[in-house]
Amino acid sequence: MSSIRIKAKERKGEVDVKCLMKHDMETGLRKDKSGKKIPEHWIQDVTAESNGKVVFSCAFNTSISKDPYLAFAFSGKKGDTLKISWKDNTGATDSAETQIK
Amino acid sequence: MKHGLKSLALVALLGSSAAFAGGHGKSAAALIEEATAGYKQVSKETSYQWTVTVKTIKEAQKALDGGNEAEAKKLAQQALDLVEATRQQAQVESQNWKMRVPK
Amino acid sequence: MKKIIRNVAFGLVGLSVSAASVAGPEEDRQAFRKFYENRFPQVQPIGDFQNGVYSILPQAREQWEAIEEFPPYELAIEEGEKIFNKTFANGKSLKDCFGEDGAVREQYPHWNKERGMVMTMELAINECLEANGEKPLKYKKGAMAAVSAYMSYNSRGQSINVEIPSDDPRALAAYEDGKEHFYTKRGQLNFACADCHMHTSGMNYRSETVSPAFGHATNWPVYRAKWQEMGTLHRRFAGCHNNIRANPFKAQGEEYRNLEYFISYMSNGLEFNGPAARK
Amino acid sequence: MDRRSVLKVAGVVSAAATALVAMPRLAMAAYTEKAFKAKGGADALQNAYGANATTPSDQVKLKAPDIAENGAVVPVEVETDMQAESIAILIDGNPSPLALTADIPAGTKGLVKTRCRMGKTTNVTAVVKSGGKLYTASKEVKVTIGGCGG
């Protein structure tokens, strides 16, 4: 299952998007039980596409909270697809797609 | 007034680690043993246990293992005080809790 | 010195009323509720106490509402749903114990007469697992908190309606045990649950405003920012005990089950609204 | 809005060119080490946008709490009615202040909401790039150490 949860609702031609991404967002400053530093591990880039067109994109630092939350809005309509994907500093990626309600 | 005074006595005891001064002249090892036994005893007789007591006993043991008899004695004595304060708390609170119930 | 004076003062107040006859649970509950109604008249409607400290702190409430827009516990609800629907080795599942959607929150905690003990939802979940040859879950977090979150979510809107059956004196004894626990000072810091969450509720300990105990039982499990994960009510009990430097009791042991029985009874009539986000 | 802090950021960078170089519009916001690992807000903006002269503007709306409930999860919201090209969030007191940059293509609202980590009491600055210029709004968010660790 994707690590990304999307809620996308259209109202008066505007699509409100809320999205939660399951990710530890390790800052590189935390230590584990044995006192060893946990290496930084975080989502760097997030891209949102609707019907194949980029409608929003952003870049994160490690100062974004664990399980990052992101909300934005764009012009669109019900039934359009919305795909959100992320890439972290290890090169790992994930994506999820939903239909706008 | 009796409850009030008891409560006062307990708080005074909690506030001062030197309030209970038993075990002078004993070795650190003996004091640690006494504190451990006392802790277990209070835990058995009441549901009261303080996290700091175990910690202090451990620190005393560590000091003793490190060859610091004086420090170990001091810490073991502190642990004994904590055990005694726990015992007192359990005793006083077995009645005093009723005062906090709203009517 | 201040502490001593306060303590003595508590003592005197206590004495002046201790001559009153021993009240039953229902009188206790009314006095308890009245205490919070008088202390926080701004909390309207009274059901808002289910939101804990946010019912009395508007500034914190705004942040909490921003978190609730897409709360991190939603991930736990999904995880819980999977566990809930998972087929056991014997072909059954948690559904066989708790129904299709597990919306049984209002049935817990309750007095189990046959066994002479308080049953909680988390205990019932593990007993269901074990009765079907599955491994029990750890009580404080992880999978247990997730299943509990899923079942609580499906039970939202149900009301707390804890009963203390009068035909079994052991039920009253369990209630009284939880009550004594709530009002008893413990730990090196010498605090009772009631000291913080009743008599100084709404006041600050360092930067922290203490939440009212009325409504404490409604919203579990929670995603706590401090933990950065989910945790159950008994995990929070243990955390509080650690804070006052008292040894915590075992999660789902008799002490905490009786305490849950008492504080749930005190919040009778409020809605279950778990899971929730907390700081 | 805390005007002083904005001026400070602007002051630090007054040596930088005030005339903005017309930058080719990036198709997408993308993480860059230079911007996100920069130790100061001005450097971060310089590296992210090729400019760091900023103007405080009440058309940049920043929503952040006065006192953070928990420094690990501080809700921050930036909104503007200006034609925004990009939005950034700076947490001035963090070791590397730039927390987020968002690219706002035509048809997308000048809005971003997220949750940030803050190590200590400091200013949060919202930056909106519009018409090639950087507009800001700042606010101090207090981060306290709680009394109940649990």
Inter-residue contact C179 to C28 (CB < 8 Å): yes
Judging contact as 3 or more Cβ pairs under 8 Å, the answer for C and A is yes
- The residues of C annotated as belonging to the active site are 240
Separation in Å, CA of C240 to nearest CA in chain D: 5
The fraction of chain D above a pLDDT of 90, given in percent, is 54
For residue B103, pLDDT over 90 is answered with: no
Quote the pTM value: 0.83
Q: How confident is the model at residue C132, as a pLDDT? A: 97
Residue B25's pLDDT is 75
pLDDT value, residue C11: 42
Inter-residue contact C60 to D69 (CB < 8 Å): yes
Contact D75 C242 (CB under 8 A): no
B82 CB neighbours in chain C (<8 A) are 188
| pLDDT attached to residue C8 | 42
Count B/C contacts: CB-CB distance under 8 Å: 97
- Dist. CA C270–CA C218, nearest whole Å: 7
Interface check C236 vs D, CB under 8 A: yes
Q: Do residues C213 and C201 touch, judged by C-beta distance below 8 A? A: yes
What is the CATH architecture of C33-70+166-271?
Orthogonal Bundle (1.10)
Q: CA of C186, closest CA in chain B: separation in Å?
A: 7
Cα D69 from Cα D76, distance rounded (Å)? 13
pLDDT band at A32 (very low <50, low <70, confident <90, very high): confident
Alpha-helical runs (H) found in C86-168: 95-98, 121-131, 142-154
Q: Which residue of D lies nearest to A67 if distances are taken between CA atoms?
A: D115
pLDDT at D139 over 50: yes
Omega before C45 cis (within 30°)? yes
Residue with the bigger pLDDT between D112 and D37: it is D112
Q: Using CA coordinates, name the residue in chain D closest to C211.
A: D148
Question: What does the pLDDT look like over B27-36, one tens digit per residue?
Answer: 999 999 999 9
* Contact between A66 and C74 using a beta-carbon 8 Å cutoff: no
pLDDT at A59 over 70: yes
Confirm or reject contact between B29 and chain C (CB < 8 A): no
> Is the pLDDT at D109 greater than 50, yes or no?
yes
How far away is chain B from the Cα of C185, in angstroms, using its nearest Cα? 7
| pLDDT of the residue at D149 | 53
Contact C69 A71 (CB under 8 A): yes
DSSP 3-state assignment of A17?
A: strand
CA distance D139 to D150: 30
Dmax (CA) of chain D: 53
For chain A, give the mean pLDDT.
93
Of C13, C23, C247, the CB nearest to B50: C247
Q: Which residues pair with D103 in a beta bridge?
A: A57, D86
Q: How far is C197 from chain B (nearest CA, A)?
A: 12
Candidates D72, D74, D146; nearest CB to C207: D146
In chain B, what residues touch C18 (CB-CB under 8 Å)?
98-99
pLDDT over 80 (residue D16): no
Instruction: Kindly report, residue by residue over C172-196, the tens digit of the pLDDT.
Output: 999 999 999 999 999 999 999 999 9
Q: Please tell me if residue D27 touches chain A, with a CB cutoff of 8 Å.
A: yes
Judged against a pLDDT cut of 80, whether residue D21 lies above it is answered with: no
The tens digit of pLDDT for each residue in D67-107 reads: 998 899 999 999 999 999 999 999 999 999 999 999 999 99
Q: Which amino acid belongs to residue B94?
A: S
Cβ-based contacts of C246 with chain B (< 8 Å): 48-51
Q: What is the pLDDT of residues B48-70, one digit of tens each?
A: 999 999 999 999 999 999 999 99
**Which 31-60 residues of chain A touch chain D by CB within 8 A?**
44-45, 47, 54-60
User: For position C207, what pLDDT does the model report?
Assistant: 79
Mean pLDDT computed over every residue of chain B = 82
CATH 1.10.760.10 domain locations along chain C:
33-70+166-271, 74-154
Cα distance between residue D42 and residue A62, in whole Å: 19
Instruction: Read off φ and ψ for residue D49, nearest 5 degrees.
Output: -120, -5
Give residue C169's pLDDT. Answer: 95
Subunits touching A (CB < 8 Å, at least 3 pairs)?
A: C, D
User: What integer pLDDT is reported at residue D91 of this predicted model?
Assistant: 95
pLDDT of residue C206: 79
Q: Which residues contact C3 (CB under 8 A, 6 or more apart)?
A: B11, B15, C190
Position C22 scores a pLDDT of: 59
| Confidence band for B37, pLDDT divided at 50, 70 and 90 | very high
Contact yes or no for C70 and A19 at CB 8 A: yes
Q: Which domains does chain A have, with CATH numbers?
A: 4-99 (2.60.40.10)
- Domains along chain D? 3-143 (2.60.40.2470)
D109 CB near a chain A CB, below 8 Å? yes
Tens of pLDDT along C203-245? 988 778 899 999 999 999 999 988 999 999 999 999 999 999 9
Checking if the pLDDT of D146 tops 50, the result is yes
Taking the C-alpha atoms of residue A98 and residue A8, their distance in angstroms, rounded to an integer, is 8
Architecture of domain C74-154: Orthogonal Bundle (1.10)
Residue matched to tokens 């207090």: D142
A9, pLDDT greater than 60: yes
Q: What is the pLDDT along chain C (279 residues), one digit of tens a residue?
A: 444 444 444 444 444 444 344 579 999 999 999 999 999 999 999 999 999 999 999 989 999 999 999 999 999 999 999 999 999 999 999 999 999 999 999 999 999 999 999 999 999 999 999 999 999 999 999 999 999 999 999 999 999 999 999 999 999 999 999 999 999 999 999 999 999 999 999 998 877 889 999 999 999 999 998 899 999 999 999 999 999 999 999 999 999 999 999 999 999 999 999 999 998
Residue D40 pLDDT: 87
Q: Does A81 touch chain D (CB under 8 A)?
A: no
Nearest chain C Cα distance for residue D116, angstroms:
12
Domain limits, chain B: 2-18+25-100
Chain A residues within 8 A of C72 when measuring between CB atoms? 20, 66-67
Q: Where does residue C13 rank: exposed (0-12), middle (13-18), buried (19+ CB within 10 A)?
A: middle
Q: Is D22 helix (H, G, I), strand (E, B) or coil?
A: coil
Q: What is residue C25's predicted lDDT score, i.e. its pLDDT?
A: 95
The stretch D22-41 carries a mean pLDDT of: 73
- Is the Cβ pair C75, A5 closer than 8 Å? yes
What pLDDT sits at residue D147? 58
